[in-house]
Amino acid sequence: MFVVISYDIADDRRRLKVAQALLDFGGERVQRSVFECYITERNYERLQRGLRRHLDIEEDSVRFYVLCEHCRAQVSLWGVAQPIERPGLRII
């Protein structure tokens, strides 16, 4: 699956924990609060469960956009933006 994850998290400590969790699951930061990730469905569910532990539902927001291959092909990149590569074998 190809997923775009964006967040707006008020607390620095929670924000760092969310960013680290996304990196741990193979996410690549494409903007300060936006990650792109190739991930299996199983790991996607694990990632979501893990992120919930770090959030304050009253203050924070996280958005997950699952893009199909057709939709991903429609993405436009401007400026210095570069597409992320589909990973090879990755053991977590």
Give me the phi and psi of 5, to 5 degrees please.
Answer: -125, 125
8 assigned to a ligand binding site: yes
d(CA 60, CA 19): 13
- 4: closest CA among 91, 77, 55, 88? 77
d(CA 7, CA 60): 8
Which segments are annotated as binding site for Mg(2+)? 8
